[in-house]
Amino acid sequence: MMKRNPLVLGHKNLKDITEDIVAPVESFPSKGWLGLFLSAKTLLIFYIITLGIVVGTGIGLLGVNHPNAWGTMIVTFVFWIGIGHAGTLISAILFLFRQKWRTSVARTAEAMTVFAVMTAGLFPLLHTGRPWLDFWLFPYPNQRGPLWVNFRSPLLWDVFAVSTYATVSMVFWYIGMIPDFATIRDRAKNKIRYMVYGALSMGWRGRARDWSHYEMVYLLLAGLSTPLVLSVHTIVSFDFAVSNLPGWHTTIFPPYFVAGAIFSGFGMVVTLMTLVRIGFPEFKNYITLDHMEVMNKIIMATGLMVGYAYGSEFFVAWYSGNLYERAVFVNRAFGDYGWSYWCMISCNVIIPQLFWFKSVRRSIPIMFIISIFVNIGMWFERFVITVTSLHHDFLPSNWGNYAWSPYDTAILVGSFGMFLTLFLLYLRLFPAISIAEIKPVINVGYETEEGGHH
């Protein structure tokens, strides 16, 4: 029989686990964290100012123009919402498949989901150009008739999909944390911590009856989140696929987008986890090299799926015999934006091939670099899909390039400030690994005399 590697290294007992995981919450931040936080916060302030200028002056400050009505806002929206998908995949889908290794990374991956969706959610709202009227997106009784929203529009489906996704993933994340908040509450030495975590824990006490219902609801939420996460990026892809534009109007989009989302999300999980391992060395016993290796395998597998989709798109464009379809794809690879296409191909298809080698999959510096490339590549993928299809459609009189402006760069870079600020705060304020979930799996891979239930 194959011997399983331990999921938690260092022969931890229950008390060690509590202490290790709660340590960042109970101790004073290190200089490294403080440095990162101050930089992220500065970037966030820069982002807020940029958004203030863009909203105050108008969306014309960005590079959007006549043929390219969708630009950085939409590209970056899809980028961030895609990143969120890995978190739900780890927390829900791998839970349903009983993958025990998910336990140590699930909490942080879910946090990443929540923050990525929050970051993403701003873009479509701002992209409307008049964000103060965004409540028009929701069907509410009004005095204009009442004039209702158009339920046949994919953009409206997106409103429902993204807001449901944000709500459900936040609730899922929070429910998972309730027992851990109770742990922190019961350990609290000072009054403020006791009150804050007492409120967050809602007075959880861990009775057997509570656990029975709790586990059931956790399973239900995992079961509900699984189709939800697949539906969200499917619906995001409908924003494109339901139109008649060559390059967008393809049936491959939903699976292609979902695979890409998981690919980019795992890229971001690996980026963040390597940093968490450096920042909190004790977590190396929980987020082991085995965990990182498995995630790298998923990156490679989804990278191959994305690569297949790129190939298939070209094949179908040629096979369809449609002139416009062919022209768009030739233009995509060899036209004005050919550089972005090849940037995408090298980052998403070629570079992850390095993960075929076990030594690469288990090397922290190399996987960090590759994961950054994956992030870059996936941003370019959305840029390629959005801009190259729009800028060169049917009639030459309707062709034109995107007018990239410094404001495009500023909101793209600034959005990382928002995401990282939230993430760094999370690492300090919430237990970054699920305490209650990791305790039942500490015996995996160890020979136990008693009490082991596997």
Partner 1 sequence: MAQKYKIGTAAIFETEAQVLKAAHKVRTMGFTKFDAITPYPVHGMEEAVGIKRSWIPYVTFVMGVVGCSSGWLLTWWTSAVNWPLNIGGKPFHSLPAFIPIMFELTILFAALSSVATLLYVCGLPRVNPPIIHPDLTSHKFGIFIPQDDTGYDAAKVEELFRSLGASEIKKAEF
Residues that bind partner 1 (CB under 8 A): 13-15, 17-18, 139, 145-152, 154, 156-157, 160-161, 164, 167-168, 171-172, 175, 178-179, 182-183, 185-187, 198-199, 202-217, 220-221, 224-225, 227-228, 231, 235, 238, 435-437, 439-440, 450-451, 453
| 150 Cβ neighbours under 8 A, 6+ residues apart | 156
Q: Could you identify the residue written with the tokens 């369809």?
A: 320
Q: 185 or 391, CB closer to partner 1?
A: 185
Both structure tokens of 102? 């998910």
Least Å from the CB of residue 321 to partner 1? 26
Question: How many whole angstroms from its chain centre is CA 4?
Answer: 29
Both structure tokens of 258? 């979902």
Q: 51 or 200, CB closer to partner 1?
A: 200
Least Å from the CB of residue 445 to partner 1? 17
Q: 293 or 437, CB closer to partner 1?
A: 437
Least Å from the CB of residue 207 to partner 1? 5
Least Å from the CB of residue 17 to partner 1? 8
Least Å from the CB of residue 447 to partner 1? 16
User: Residue 63 in contact with residue 409, Cβ under 8 Å?
Assistant: no
Least Å from the CB of residue 375 to partner 1? 28
Q: 54 or 117, CB closer to partner 1?
A: 117
Q: 397 or 450, CB closer to partner 1?
A: 450
Least Å from the CB of residue 144 to partner 1? 10
Distance spanning both ends of the chain, measured CA to CA: 14
Q: 13 or 397, CB closer to partner 1?
A: 13
Q: Could you identify the residue written with the tokens 């123009």?
A: 65
Q: 29 or 223, CB closer to partner 1?
A: 223
Rounded CA separation 315/429 (Å)? 50
Least Å from the CB of residue 172 to partner 1? 8
| 185 Cβ neighbours under 8 A, 6+ residues apart | 193, 194, 197, 198, 200, 201
CA nearest 426: which of 170, 86, 190?
A: 170
CA nearest 438: which of 4, 1, 2, 13?
A: 13
Rounded CA separation 286/17 (Å)? 9
Rounded CA separation 212/208 (Å)? 6
Q: 372 vs 338, 347, 367, 368, 445, CA distance in Å?
A: 21, 9, 9, 6, 32
Least Å from the CB of residue 10 to partner 1? 16
CA nearest 161: which of 232, 229, 98, 212?
A: 232
Q: 87 or 267, CB closer to partner 1?
A: 87
User: Residue 434 in contact with residue 31, Cβ under 8 Å?
Assistant: no
Q: 94 or 221, CB closer to partner 1?
A: 221
User: Residue 323 in contact with residue 284, Cβ under 8 Å?
Assistant: no
Q: Is the peptide bond before 255 cis (omega within 30 degrees of 0)?
A: no
